[in-house]
Amino acid sequence: MSIAKLDGGLISTGAEWTFELLERYDHAIHDIAANEFGLDTYPNQIEIIASEQMLDAYASAGLPIGYPHWSYGKEFIRNEQAYRKGARGLAYEIVINSDPCISYLMEENTMAMQALVIAHACYGHNSFFKGNYLFRQWTSADAIIDYMVFARKYVMHCEETYGSERVEEVLDSCHALMSHGVDRYRHPTPLSVAEERDRQREREEYAWRQYDEIWRTLPTRTGAAASQKAAAGRFPAEPQENLLYFIEKYAPKLEPWQRELVRIVRKTAQYFYPQSQTKVMNEGWATFWHYTLLQRMFDKSQVDSGFMIEALASHTNVTMQRGFDQRGYGGLNPYALGFAMMCDIRRICEAPTQEDREWFPEIAGGDWQKVLDFAMRNYKDESFIGQFLSPRLMREFHLFAVADHEDEDDLVVDSIHNEHGFRRLRRLLATQYNRDQLLPDIQVTQYERSGDRSLTLRHQRSRKRPLAEEANEVLRHLARLWGFTVRLETSDENGRLESVCEVRS
C-alpha cells in the first residue's frame, strides 16, 4: 500500500521539500511504524508553518489557541529576542496532544529534517500521547482544542463585559496558583440522588438491625467526644491540595464569571500536568523512534546516506549531554537521558550482560518491543528511572550526586557511579523527577465558614526546605481571589507548627 514500496528505492534526494514528498515520506514512515513496529497512533494532522508562527506557538506553550494575557506577550518577546539574537534556535516542531494529533513543521527545515520531525512527532510523541497512562487518565485529546476555543471566547467576552483590568486581575492570581491547581488523584464521580437515597436507606436499616439498648449504657469519654465534634465542624473535612479547585467551588466572594475563569486556568493546568512528569520518557521515546524509523528507512534504501548524515547530525545535537563543568551545562538533558535509556532497554533485551541479568532479571533477554511498549504505557519519569536506569548508563553518563545539607559547611559528594552508589544514585535521580518533591506541599486545611470566612493553608516542610520569598506575593493573590483573610501555616515534618503568615484582605 505504501507508495514508497511501489516506487521502490529512494524517495528523494536533495534538501528541497514539496508537499508531495512530505506525503510520500509520511506514507513510508507510517508503513514502518505501524506495520513493522506496531506503533499505535492517533491520526496525524501535519501543519507547515513559518518561523514567526512557531514563535507564536511557543508563547502559548504549544497550544494553537489561547486566551489573551500579558504573560504570553512576555514569553513571546523573550523567545523572539533570543531567536533574533541567535542565542537560541527554534524547535523543529511542536506537537499537540490532541486527536487528530497536530504537529507543526517549520517551512525552513530541509527534507531530511522534515522526515525526522515527522518520525519524531507524528509517530513518536503521537503514540506516547495515545499510550501513556498519565495522558490517558488526565487529558482528553479529542476535546482540548474545542475547550481552548471556548476559553478564548469566554475570556474575551468577559473582557468586553467587565473590563480587561478585572479579568487580568483574576487571571494573574490564578496563574500564581497554577502549580497547585491540579488533581493528582481522580475524584470519585458524585453520586446521583437515587444512589444517595439507596445508600442512606441501607445505612439506616443496618443501624436499626444493629441497635441494642445495652450500648447506651456505656459511659462516653468526654475528651474524645469533644475532639470528634471539633473535627466534624472543620471544613473541609479532609485537607484539599487543589487550591484552584477549592477556590472555584468555595470562594465566598467570586462572581460566576470569575469562577469560570478560575476553572479555565485550572483545566489548562491539568492539561499540562502529564507533560511535566513525562518529559524524559516522552522525549526519549520520540527520539528513540525517529532514530529507529529512519535507520530502518536507510536499511530499506528509501533514503540515501546524505539524508542520514544530516538527520544524524541533528539527532546528535539533540542528544548531547554536557558535563557539569562544561559551558552551557543545564542539568541532565531529557532527550539524552531518555534516548539512552530507551536504547539501553533494547540492548538489555537483545544482548544482556551478566550485570544486566542481575539487575533486570525480568526483562533481560526478553522481547524489546514488548518491554518498551509496556514501559511507555505504565510509567512516568520518576518510576521509569527508578525501574530502568542501568548501572551501565550511570557509568556512561558519569553520574554523581551532590548533597547540599543545611547543617554541613560544604557540599558533600553523596554517591558516584560505583558499585556502592548505583542504587542510591538511581533513587536520588528518580526523586529528582518526582513532582511531589519539587513542589512544596501546600494544602487547604480550614475554611471558617461560620466565622470570619478566613482560609487557612498548611505548608508541610519537607526536609527543612523553605518556601521561596515570593510566597507572600502568591498569598496576596490568593487573598484577592478569596476576598477574606488568608493565612499560611508552616509546619515541620512532624506536623509541629513553626510559623504563620497572614494576609488580610
Partner 1 sequence: MSIIIDRRLNDRNKNAVNRQRFLRRYKEQIRKSVTDVVARRSITDMEQSGVVNIPIKDISEPSFHHGGSGGDREYVNAGNREFNTGDKIPRPTGGSGKGSGEGEGGDSEDNFSFALSREEFMSLFFDDLELPHLVRNALGETRDFKWRRAGYTPSGVPANLSVSRSLRNSMARRIAIGAPLRRQLLELEAAQAAEEEIEAMRARIERIPFVEEVDLRYRHRVKEPQPISRAVMFCLMDVSASMTEDKKDLAKRFFTLLYLFLSRKYEKVELIFIRHTDDAQEVDEDTFFHDTKSGGTVVLSALKLMQEIAVARYPSDSWNIYGAQVSDGDAFGADPEKSRACLVEQLLPLSRYFAYIEVPDQADRPSPLTHAYQRIDSDRFAMKSVMARNEVYPVLRELFKREATV
Which residues in 450-489 contact partner 1 (CB under 8 A)?
A: 459, 461, 463-471, 473-474, 477
Place of cell 520569598: 469
* Per CB under 8 A, 324 contacts partner 1: yes
CB of 428 to partner 1, least distance (A): 5
CB of 473 to partner 1, least distance (A): 4
> Which phi and psi (to 5°) does residue 439 adopt?
-95, 140
Question: C-alpha distances in angstroms, 4 versus 11, 255, 307, 308?
Answer: 6, 59, 16, 17
Q: Which is nearer to partner 1, 40 or 47 (CB)?
A: 47
For partner 1, the binding residue among 331, 367, 436, 449 (CB under 8 A) is: 331
CB of 476 to partner 1, least distance (A): 9
- Which range, of 5-13, 190-198, 255-263, 317-325, touches partner 1 by CB under 8 A? 317-325
For partner 1, the binding residue among 399, 444, 455, 503 (CB under 8 A) is: 399
Taking the CA atoms of 110, 59, 438 and 412 in sequence, report the sign of the dihedral they define.
positive
- Binding mask 5-24 vs partner 1 (x if CB under 8 A, - otherwise)? --------------x--xx-
For partner 1, the binding residue among 244, 332, 341, 479 (CB under 8 A) is: 332
Distance CA 454, CA 363 (A): 54
Residues paired with residue 95 on neighbouring β-strands, in sequence order: 103
CB of 114 to partner 1, least distance (A): 10
Residue 399: exposed, middle, or buried by beta-carbon count in 10 A (0-12, 13-18, 19+)? buried
403 — alpha (psi -120 to 50), left (phi > 0) or beta? beta
* Per CB under 8 A, 330 contacts partner 1: yes
CB of 192 to partner 1, least distance (A): 36
For partner 1, the binding residue among 12, 179, 278, 319 (CB under 8 A) is: 179
376: Cβ contacts below 8 Å, ≥ 6 apart: 127, 128, 131, 132, 281, 285
Place of cell 486527536: 99
Distance CA 308, CA 419 (A): 38
Taking the CA atoms of 198, 200, 201 and 202 in sequence, report the sign of the dihedral they define.
positive
Q: How many Å separate Cα 503 from the centre of its chain? A: 31
470: Cβ contacts below 8 Å, ≥ 6 apart: none
For partner 1, the binding residue among 16, 238, 404, 452 (CB under 8 A) is: 404
* Per CB under 8 A, 405 contacts partner 1: yes
Distance CA 273, CA 434 (A): 12
Q: Which of 436, 495, 111, 468 is nearest to 303 (CA)?
A: 111
Q: Which is nearer to partner 1, 366 or 439 (CB)?
A: 439
* Per CB under 8 A, 61 contacts partner 1: no
- Which range, of 7-15, 234-242, 299-307, 429-437, touches partner 1 by CB under 8 A? 429-437
Which residues in 91-110 contact partner 1 (CB under 8 A)?
A: 100, 104, 107
* Per CB under 8 A, 435 contacts partner 1: no
Which residues in 41-60 contact partner 1 (CB under 8 A)?
A: 43-50, 52-53, 55-56, 59
Distance CA 30, CA 2 (A): 9
Which residues in 154-173 contact partner 1 (CB under 8 A)?
A: 168, 172
For partner 1, the binding residue among 328, 354, 450, 495 (CB under 8 A) is: 328
- Which range, of 207-215, 231-239, 371-379, 409-417, touches partner 1 by CB under 8 A? 409-417
* Per CB under 8 A, 176 contacts partner 1: yes
Count of residues of this chain found to bind partner 1 when the rule CB under 8 A is applied: 101
